[in-house]
Structures are given as structure tokens and as C-alpha cells.
């Protein structure tokens, strides 16, 4: 276990008061690279078969609501062929089960934490907090980092699903252990549809495919290796898609809709097709773009979602096309981190009714219609490393904790529009900045228009080296929500703040106001 000096200090301070403090800070260690699986034992790229995450069916459905039961538990899964890896899972699966829902239906997910009381190797208590990323959830159901569910407890999360159709994902957000928990498997898709999206005739069913891209590293016995790299991030040497190393996917000669999520802990990608062929972006984090946007590559940081349509119609059966990665700077690369997956075009018949790419998608997204002139307030947030801490305007989540969760960095008025400037003046790292609750429109980056693929509703902005990104936001809802870097190692080491959307007519709900309860107090779901 490699601990930084700061970790040791924190752990030392903590050791004397272990039973008094409900929350440990920075006990989490990282593994040593000494026992890393040698490259010669890793699978050959493209030798594994692609698979999709399973879709979960509700335990109960009423006229208005779907209820799901999910257990967070340690399970053995096969990620590297021939090895069993202990993962932290939703329902025993990596990635976790996909939830599908139509706009307007409520969803309640019961999340029971049956993880071990202590991680045997990393020596931390795997408390959890489940965040549905992309959802305007109430504060108490948003996966507020400090609203933890400890092993032996459960919490019922409610989701309104009132927003436009989009690709969301749920993942762990437990304070200080988000990176370890998500890394070991606590991440899954959540796909919301709506009538407009269904009317477009986009590729559907087997042609609507989630691609959850991540990276990982393994010990020689096949267990996950978690390396902190001086708290700058966790960079693996194996690229996974839906939990499979460098898979090959058979595709028919037609259009596919891919929902591409980078669920890496720290790694950003700049991906493209090996033959240089263009493809079309049809949706970003917050849903459909106005029209398809033709691109040949996407710079894609953690937690960003880009939906693309790739057309394989012009390829002969047997054609092989790889999804490759031109690693953006300040990632740690390895022999095969420049490859992600492969498509193999196969012959065979296929339905054609949904073999479509309409020329108009959603021209009326309310966020994209916002104008800078509507902004009533401007705020600036600096993301920087200071005294070996990751900070936002010089503050960390510790400041929030020390204030009894009162301290906020901004108090926008409900329904007001603001311009937030996200600034990274370092050349040494990039920060994918995520603002909870809202969708935003990227106005510009260093004064220039956003990249073509970013011209849709977003909730994460890639704030690269020496970049300043301005985003335009309308704050609907009320209450306290987090904003943080989605390099989850930065987030855990404490680049996280909160803002409060203020509604003068009534206070927001308390993000800690609906705490988890012991498993033995669990009543039947849906009552
Ligand atoms: Cu995807 Cu606050 O996180
Ligand atoms: Cu989020
Ligand atoms: Cu960061």
C-alpha cells in the first residue's frame, strides 16, 4: 500500500479517534505497481467478444412508478479471460444493470449496501452514495457525497424523469471513496426515452448500443490494482468496453446508434475510427442535438456522454474497423491504451425501418435556446492544485464538511440564468468539470467556439490544460448540489464544492435529510 505523506498525516490523525469519527478521511490507500500483471499475460486486443450490459426489469410497476431492487455487493466476475476478479457490483454485474425508462414515469431504486465492512486490500469502509448522473433529482436523492449508506444499510432513491430523453448513468459517489468504488464496478447505464426521440426512427433495439469505456489495471492474480499516482489519477493499462478488454463486436452493414460513456476514473480519450471515416454526433450529456453533427474524432473526458451514429453500410463483410484513442495529454499511456475496441462487419439480413439518421433531431432544446444576454450573474471558478490539494477557488469539500454542510460557492436564484467561467490555468492536468442538477450550454473555450461535438446540452465540460470554458446555465429546482472535477481521484482528494439554488418562496430539501437505514428495517418495496 502506497500512501502519500498527506495520507499518512491524515491517517495518523485519524487513528486515535477511529471510533469517534463517523467518517474516515483519506484512510484509503492505493496498491503498489510491483505486483502488476505483466503485459505478456494481458489479453490480446480484439480477441474478446463484445457484450452489452443486461437490462433490469422492475420488481414492481404501478400506474406511475417502476420500482427496482439493487444490491451492492462484492462478486467474482471474469474480466480478463481465465481470471476471477472480485468486483464491487450492482447486482453482481460489471457494468451494473441498465435501467430503461420513459419520460414521465417515476423510478424508485432501492440500493442495499451489502459490501464488506472493510475493503480487505485497500483498507477502507465501502460506504456508498448513489448518484444518477444526468438527472435533476431532489437533493436527498442526488447521491450527495456525504449522504452515505454504510455496509448494512439501504436507501430508496426517487427519480422524476421529467427531462428530455438522454443517456444517464448511475455510479457511486461515496465521499472520499468514489474513485475506488466506481473503479471496482459500481457504474451502470440509465437510458431515458421520450416521445420526440421515439418519433425520430433512430436505430433501436439491437442497433442501439451502450459503450461504457473505462481503463483498469490488474494484479498478477487477476485482482483489480488501484494506483493513485500521487493523487493525480488512476490510469490503467487495459481498456475495457462494457467490462470486456478490447472487445470485437460484430456489426451488420447498416447504421448503429452508440451511446458512448467514458466511465474511466481519470482517463480522457480522443477517439476515432481507424479508417478515418466520419460519423455523426446525435446527442450529448443532456440529450439530442439540434441536428446530426459530422465529426471524425471526439475528445471525451470522464462522465461525458456522446451518442453517435456510425454507418457500416458501405463495408464488405469481413471488414475490420477499430476504435482508436489518440490519448490527450496528461494521461498515462501504456502499450495498448491507444486501442479501444474493434468492429467486424458481418453479412446477414437486418430490419431497415430504423436504419435512419434524420436530418433534424431536437431543434428546441430549452438549454440550447438560452442566450448570454439572459444572464443575470457571472461567476468564476478556478480549478487548481494548491499545497498538494485539488481545489476549487482555493476550497475543498473539507470546507463544506467543516461548515456543517452549509458552505456554498454560489447561490443562484431559482430560474435565473448565469454564466459560469471554469478556469484551469495549469498545463499539467485537465479537469472534466461536472455541475449537478443542471444542463448547460458551452459558450466558448478560450474565447473560441466549442468543439463541434460539444454543441449540445452538457453537464460535464472538458476543461483542458490552460483552458477557460464559459457555460450558460438556467438553475431550475432548489437546494444544495455538488460541483466537482470528474477525475474521481481529484474529486476524492477534494476538488468538490456545492452551490445552492435559492427559491425565496421555500427552502430546498436537505441533501442529508433522508438518511440510509439499517437493512433489518427494510419494508416491502413500493409501500
Ligand atoms: Cu458523475 Cu457528481 O458525478
Ligand atoms: Cu451528476
Ligand atoms: Cu481534476
Render 121-153 in DSSP notation, one character per residue: TT-----B-EEEET----GGGTT-TTS-B-TTE
Spacing, Cα 334 to ligand 3 middle (Å): 21
Spacing, Cα 390 to ligand 3 middle (Å): 7
Spacing, Cα 171 to ligand 2 middle (Å): 9
The CB of 490 under 6 Å from ligand 1? The reply is no
Spacing, Cα 189 to ligand 1 middle (Å): 13
Q: Any idea which ligand is nearest the CA of 462? A: 3
The CB of 301 under 6 Å from ligand 1? The reply is no
Q: What is the pLDDT of residues 265-306, one digit of tens each?
A: 999 999 999 999 999 999 999 999 999 999 999 999 999 999
Q: Any idea which ligand is nearest the CA of 490? A: 3
The CB of 131 under 6 Å from ligand 1? The reply is yes
Under a CB-based contact definition with an 8 Å cutoff, are residues 137 and 160 in contact? yes
Spacing, Cα 486 to ligand 2 middle (Å): 9
Spacing, Cα 385 to ligand 3 middle (Å): 9
The CB of 434 under 6 Å from ligand 1? The reply is yes
Hey, what's the cell of 45?
486486443
Neighbours of 12 (CB within 10 A): 9
Q: Any idea which ligand is nearest the CA of 132? A: 2
Spacing, Cα 134 to ligand 1 middle (Å): 8
Hey, what's the cell of 364?
428546441
Atom in ligand 1 nearest the alpha carbon of residue 436: 2
Strand partners, 60: 67
Atom in ligand 1 nearest the alpha carbon of residue 133: 1
Nearest protein Cα to ligand 1, atom 3: 133
Q: Give the residue carrying C-alpha cell 443542471.
A: 438
- pTM of the model as a whole: 0.94
The CB of 171 under 6 Å from ligand 1? The reply is yes
Rounded to whole angstroms, the Cα distance separating 294 from 33 reads: 41
Angle at 461 (CA atoms; ends 26, 363), nearest 5 degrees:
145
The CB of 305 under 6 Å from ligand 1? The reply is no
Spacing, Cα 163 to ligand 1 middle (Å): 17
Ligand 2 (ion): which residues have CB within 5 A? 133, 436
The CB of 303 under 6 Å from ligand 1? The reply is yes
Q: Give the residue from 306, 268, 88, 69 showing the smallest Cα distance to 182.
A: 88
Spacing, Cα 158 to ligand 1 middle (Å): 17
The CB of 219 under 6 Å from ligand 1? The reply is no
Atom in ligand 1 nearest the alpha carbon of residue 171: 1
The ranges of the chain with pLDDT < 70 are 1-29
Q: Any idea which ligand is nearest the CA of 169? A: 1
Cα 286 to Cα 30, 164, 202, 365, 432: the distances in Å are 34, 7, 17, 9, 16
Atom in ligand 1 nearest the alpha carbon of residue 482: 2
Spacing, Cα 431 to ligand 3 middle (Å): 4
Rounded to whole angstroms, the Cα distance separating 341 from 43 reads: 13
Spacing, Cα 493 to ligand 3 middle (Å): 10
- Which pLDDT score, from 0 to 100, does residue 12 have? 32
Cα end-to-end distance, the chain, whole Å: 45
The CB of 482 under 6 Å from ligand 1? The reply is yes
Cα 398 to Cα 28, 167, 210: the distances in Å are 16, 31, 36
Q: Any idea which ligand is nearest the CA of 465? A: 3
The CB of 299 under 6 Å from ligand 1? The reply is no
Q: Give the residue carrying C-alpha cell 435501467.
A: 99
Under a CB-based contact definition with an 8 Å cutoff, are residues 182 and 263 in contact? yes
- Which pLDDT score, from 0 to 100, does residue 228 have? 83
The CB of 431 under 6 Å from ligand 1? The reply is no
Cα 265 to Cα 3, 118, 233, 392: the distances in Å are 19, 21, 7, 19
Neighbours of 310 (CB within 10 A): 19
Amino acid at each position: 500500500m502506497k500512501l502519500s505523506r498527506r495520507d499518512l498525516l491524515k491517517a495518523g490523525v485519524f487513528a486515535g479517534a477511529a471510533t469517534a469519527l463517523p467518517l474516515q478521511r483519506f484512510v484509503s490507500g492505493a496498491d503498489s505497481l510491483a505486483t502488476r500483471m505483466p503485459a505478456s499475460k494481458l489479453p490480446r486486443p480484439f480477441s474478446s467478444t463484445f457484450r452489452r450490459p443486461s437490462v433490469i426489469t422492475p420488481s414492481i410497476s404501478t400506474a406511475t412508478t417502476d420500482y427496482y431492487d439493487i444490491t451492492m455487493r462484492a462478486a467474482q466476475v471474469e474480466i480478463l479471460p481465465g481470471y476471477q476478479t472480485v468486483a464491487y457490483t450492482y447486482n453482481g454485474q460489471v457494468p451494473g444493470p441498465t435501467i430503461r425508462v420513459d419520460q414521465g414515469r417515476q423510478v424508485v431504486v432501492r440500493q442495499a449496501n451489502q459490501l464488506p465492512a472493510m475493503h480487505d486490500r485497500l483498507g477502507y469502509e465501502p460506504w456508498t452514495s448513489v448518484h444518477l448522473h444526468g438527472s435533476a433529482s431532489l437533493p436527498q436523492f442526488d447521491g450527495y457525497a456525504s449522504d452515505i449508506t454504510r455496509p448494512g444499510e439501504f436507501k430508496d432513491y426517487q427519480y422524476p424523469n421529467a427531462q428530455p430523453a438522454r443517456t444517464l448513468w448511475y455510479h457511486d459517489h461515496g465521499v472520499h471513496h468514489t474513485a475506488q468504488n466506481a473503479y471496482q464496478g459500481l457504474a451502470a447505464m440509465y437510458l431515458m426515452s421520450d416521445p420526440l426521440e421515439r418519433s425520430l426512427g433512430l436505430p433501436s433495439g439491437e442497433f442501439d448500443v451502450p459503450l461504457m469505456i473505462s481503463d483498469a489495471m490488474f494484479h498478477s492474480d487477476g485482482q483489480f490494482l488501484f494506483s493513485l499516482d500521487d493523487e493525480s489519477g488512476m490510469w490503467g493499462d487495459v481498456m475495457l468496453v462494457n467490462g470486456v478488454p478490447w472487445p470485437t463486436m460484430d456489426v451488420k452493414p447498416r447504421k448503429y446508434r452508440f451511446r458512448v460513456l467514458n466511465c474511466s476514473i481519470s482517463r480522457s480519450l480522443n477517439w476515432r475510427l481507424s479508417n478515418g471515416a466520419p460519423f455523426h454526433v446525435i446527442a450529448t450529456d443532456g440529450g439530442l442535438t439540434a441536428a446530426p453533427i459530422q465529426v471524425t474524432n471526439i475528445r471525451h473526458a470522464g462522465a461525458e456522454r456522446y451518442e453517435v451514429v456510425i454507418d457500416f453500410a458501405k463495408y464488405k463483410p469481413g471488414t475490420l474497423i477499430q476504435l482508436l484513442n489518440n490519448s490527450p495529454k496528461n494521461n498515462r499511456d501504456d502499450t495498448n491504451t491507444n486501442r479501444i475496441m474493434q468492429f467486424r462487419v458481418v453479412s446477414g439480413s437486418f430490419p431497415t425501418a430504423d436504419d435512419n439518421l434524420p436530418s433534424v433531431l431536437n431543434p428546441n432544446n430549452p438549454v440550447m435556446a438560452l442566450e448570454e444576454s439572459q444572464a443575470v450573474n457571472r461567476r468564476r471558478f478556478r480549478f487548481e492544485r494548491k499545497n498538494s490539494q485539488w481545489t476549487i477557488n482555493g476550497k475543498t469539500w473539507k470546507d463544506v464538511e467543516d461548515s456543517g454542510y452549509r458552505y456554498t460557492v454560489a447561490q443562484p436564484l431559482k430560474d435565473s440564468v448565469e454564466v459560469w467561467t471554469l478556469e484551469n490555468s495549469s498545463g499539467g492536468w485537465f479537469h472534466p468539470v461536472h455541475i449537478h442538477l443542471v444542463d448547460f450550454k458551452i459558450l466558448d473555450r478560450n474565447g473560441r467556439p466549442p468543439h463541434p461535438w460539444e454543441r449540445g446540452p452538457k453537464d460535464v465540460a472538458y476543461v483542458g490544460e490552460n483552458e477557460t470554458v464559459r457555460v450558460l446555465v438556467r438553475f431550475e429546482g432548489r437546494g444544495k448540489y455538488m460541483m466537482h472535477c470528474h477525475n474521481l481521484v481529484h474529486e476524492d482528494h477534494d476538488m468538490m464544492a456545492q452551490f445552492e439554488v435559492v427559491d425565496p418562496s421555500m427552502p430546498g430539501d436537505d441533501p442529508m435529510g433522508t438518511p440510509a437505514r439499517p437493512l433489518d428495517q427494510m419494508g416491502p418495496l413500493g409501500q
